[in-house]
Amino acid sequence: MVVRDIIEILKGEIICEGDLNQEIKTACGSDMMSDVLAFVKDQSVLLTGLVNPQVVRTAEMMDMACIVFVRGKDPDESIVSLAQSRDITLIKTRYRMFTACGLLYSNGLSGGTEV
Amino acid sequence: MSNAIHLHYEVSGDDFTRAGEASGAVKKRLKSLGYNSDAIRRVAIAMYEAEINMVIHANGGFCDVDIYPDKVEILLADNGPGIADVDKAMQEGYSTAPDNVRNLGFGAGMGLPNIKKYTDEMRIETTLGVGTKLYLTVIVRE
């Protein structure tokens, strides 16, 4: 799966375009950035309902290529410009967290961990 | 190259949106120096958590980073309130962060445990009413 596929599956809208052909192996969904930093390993997409610049910074530290904002949330300009400078793709989807994660999972994307 | 590369950053205490600037800059620098990505990520996450802590709890401070061929040493120092109970602060899930910080996605009581998890050495010097110094070492090459 690549970033472009995620956009299609989630009927998403691109807010900030990075490398859309970047391969995505695993994903995680969380509104708690501390948990993302604690439990995630080698995951390349973050689904979140949290909208602030620290979401982008968390993705940056974790080498994530793509952030999906669920429930149709709109990041502001400061978030978009931060993502641009870090070459991170931002996507917005109207799906809620559970549904968005489920759609990606049923299309073959896993969490990358056993439990 | 025997000399360390020394970097210094001031961390502003009143702008949460900028927290992570120093960690991001260090990450970029390590990448350009060719360190392996796993080691770079460990440095970045540990330093980022510490930077967030500084902004949340201590009204900012500074970071000194020394990059050696085989390790990265980081000092994060603040003039904040100090940590009353370090053992408790080291427990996963224990947090004294206010609700507004939780709304920003932090304050889950994972900061210090995460830092310990990602570093090879971690030392805390803290004095109530004076401030906290956090010394971190990450081994970057086998």
Domain spans of chain B?
5-139
**DSSP label at B67?**
E
User: Which pLDDT belongs to residue B99?
Assistant: 85
Query: Does the distance separating the beta carbons of B114 and A34 come in below 8 Å?
Result: yes
Query: Does the distance separating the beta carbons of B117 and A60 come in below 8 Å?
Result: no
Q: Is the ipTM of this complex over 0.85?
A: yes
Q: Are the CB atoms for B136 and B122 separated by under 8 Å? A: yes
How distant is the Cα of B93 from the closest Cα of chain A, in angstroms?
Answer: 10
Q: Is A85 on the interface with B (CB under 8 A)?
A: no
User: Which pLDDT belongs to residue B2?
Assistant: 59
pLDDT of chain A, 115 residues: tens digit per residue: 999 999 999 999 999 999 999 999 999 999 999 889 987 677 789 999 999 999 999 999 999 999 999 999 999 999 999 999 999 999 999 999 999 999 999 999 988 777 7
Query: Does the distance separating the beta carbons of B113 and A54 come in below 8 Å?
Result: no
Q: Are the CB atoms for A85 and B25 separated by under 8 Å? A: no
Q: Which of B12, B15, B17 to mutate to test the interface with A (most CBs of A within 10 A)?
A: B17
Contacts of A38 in chain B (CB under 8 A): 110, 113-114, 117
**Yes or no: domain A3-106 corresponds to CATH 3.40.1390.20:** yes
Residue A96's CB is within 10 A of a number of other CB atoms, namely: 13
How distant is the Cα of A9 from the closest Cα of chain B, in angstroms?
Answer: 26
Question: Which CATH superfamily is B5-139 part of?
Answer: Histidine kinase-like ATPase, C-terminal domain (3.30.565.10)
The residue ranges of DSSP E strands in chain B, in sequence order, are: 5-12, 60-67, 71-78, 121-127, 131-139
Provide the residue count of chain B.
142
Q: Is A87 on the interface with B (CB under 8 A)?
A: no
Residue of chain A minimizing CA distance to B27: A61
* Angle (CA) A96 A28 B32, round 5°: 130
The residue ranges of DSSP E strands in B5-87, in sequence order, are: 5-12, 60-67, 71-78
How distant is the Cα of A50 from the closest Cα of chain B, in angstroms?
Answer: 7
Residue B91 in this model has a pLDDT that exceeds 60: yes
User: Which pLDDT belongs to residue B125?
Assistant: 97
Domain spans of chain A?
3-106
Which residue in B44, B105, B110 is closest to A52 by CB distance? B105
**Could you write out the DSSP letters of every residue in A20-56?**
TT-B--BEEE-S-HHHHHHH--S--EEEES--SHHHH
Cα B127 from Cα B96, distance rounded (Å): 17
- The token duo for B133 is 């110094």
Q: Distances in Å between the alpha carbon of B10 and those of A23, A29, B51, B122?
A: 36, 32, 10, 21
